[in-house]
Amino acid sequence: MILLDTALRRRESEGRPVRVGLIGAGAMGRGFVAQVSALVPGMEVVAIANRTLQHAADAYVFAQRDGAIAVDSLTALDQAILAHRPAITDDPILLARSAGIDCLVEMTGAVNHGALVAVAAIEHGKPLVLMNAAVDATVGPILQAKARSAGTLLTCSDGNQPGAQMNLWRYVQGLGLVPRVLGTIQALQNDYPTPTPQRDLAEPRSQALTLATSFAHSSRVNFEQCIVANATGFTVSQRGLGRRVHHGHVDELTAVYDLDALRELGGVVDVVFGARPAPGVFCLAEMPDARHVQYLELYKLGTGPLYSLYQPYHLCFLEAPMSVARAVLFGDAVGQPIGAPVAEVVAIANRDLAAGETLESVGRCMTYGQAEQACVVRAEGLLPEGLAEGCRLRRAIAKDQPIHWGDVDAPSETLVHRLYAEQQALFFPS
């Protein structure tokens, strides 16, 4: 942030704001546009793409920016940007193609649509801040391989749980400590949510029902911790993460984990329920240099061998502009897969499912997602939660049972399924 604010103010003084194209005008998107428009110097949201065009217009109204113009061609979009007119469209590919846009931000939450945006951004050399956990966790490694090959940047975002953990991970390493646990603190969990109570939570916040539901049954936290695993090489200790309940301070977790087991695993991602402060993120790390143990005790981090460092908040879209600035001005990614998937998120039946049913999208009430080691996913032929939508069940699946590829007829022609097949072929050719 100390570097970014100076760099953005310079762009503001030069009259060269970082020009952002936003895809997705839901609750997060509206907040992002308002944040950038009012409070971030040196940056401007010049265009919004949304499947419902009125929602894109509403996002600019919420940000108190008048005069948005609907465009349906690249020429019209570029002319609007040159005229300093906010542009709205239902075609996200126009934003990827426009020379008047420096960076894209994807906030839709839709898996196949988000994958489409990512592929377009890569093909047109456009940096992309991906605030779509399901896409990142499901096909992030192949998208990252494509981005590296194309010489462009794909990154998760500040403000979301993965970004907060990746920033903490880098900070802790910078102190000379060795991270062993990267975790998130959650306040609640309902393993079997139904639409009505989630609607009561979602509507006052203008959130999508699917988003609220994915929070309730922890699909989202499993996607997010999968992203962290794939960006660090850390693994998951068991299917669905540890799911430990701890009604004390996060610092007390240093006595809960087995350091030898953590060393053997090389580090784990996890979630803890009920700990304080929430909702935050934490890193448990060890000091490899015995000379410095006395100093960590002196500065109140405890006696070791594990030390707790944490951030007691994550501010979602309020921090996302910093990811844009990092990408455009410094070529710096918040977090990205380092290679082959380490973890994936598999689909689990949220209720008894009947043969012939067609599975719904992430955040509905037919399935929920649990993080699992990628090697187990391959060995057992498990269906990723991010690919469940549109799959038709060949047989009945009991509640809380995992769904296998052999249990479904999958829509293999969709982009996200084709990307996943390409990912498997690239990283696991045997």
Give yes or no: residues 186 and 143 share one domain: no
User: Which of 284, 304, 330 is a domain's end point?
Assistant: 330
Range of the domain at 215: 158-315+340-430
Distance set, CA 30 to CA 26, 270, 317, 346, 363 (Å): 6, 30, 9, 31, 20
Structure tokens at 227: 């992203």
Residue 351 within any structural domain of the chain: yes
Residues 93 and 206 in one domain: no
Question: Are 145 and 164 found together in one domain?
Answer: no
**Residue 354 above 60 pLDDT?**
yes
Q: Which of 303, 330, 357 is the endpoint of a domain? A: 330
Is 412 contained in some domain?
yes
Q: Residue 175 has what DSSP assignment?
A: T
pTM: 0.94
Residue 215: the pLDDT is: 58
Considering the domain architecture, whether residues 196 and 264 belong to the same structural domain is answered as yes
What span, in angstroms and rounded, lies between the C-alpha atoms of 183 and 210? 24
Q: Is the pLDDT of residue 192 over 90?
A: no
Of the listed ranges 90-104, 190-204, 347-361, the least confidently predicted one is: 190-204
- Residue 193's pLDDT is 64
Percent of residues, the chain, with pLDDT higher than 90: 89
Any domain includes 403: yes
Say if residue 176 is in the same domain as residue 30: no
Shared-domain flag, residues 122 and 180: no
User: Per-residue pLDDT tens for 120-157?
Assistant: 999 999 999 999 999 999 999 999 999 999 999 999 99
pLDDT surpasses 70 at 306: yes
Q: Report the number of distinct structural domains present in the chain.
A: 2
Same domain, residue pair 14 and 41: yes
The per-residue pLDDT for range 245-302, each reduced to its tens digit, is 999 999 999 999 999 999 999 999 999 999 999 889 999 999 999 999 999 999 999 9
Whether 266 and 189 map to the same domain: the answer is: yes
CATH number, domain containing residue 19: 3.40.50.720
Sign of torsion over alpha carbons 217, 59, 94, 127: negative
Do the domain assignments include residue 335? no
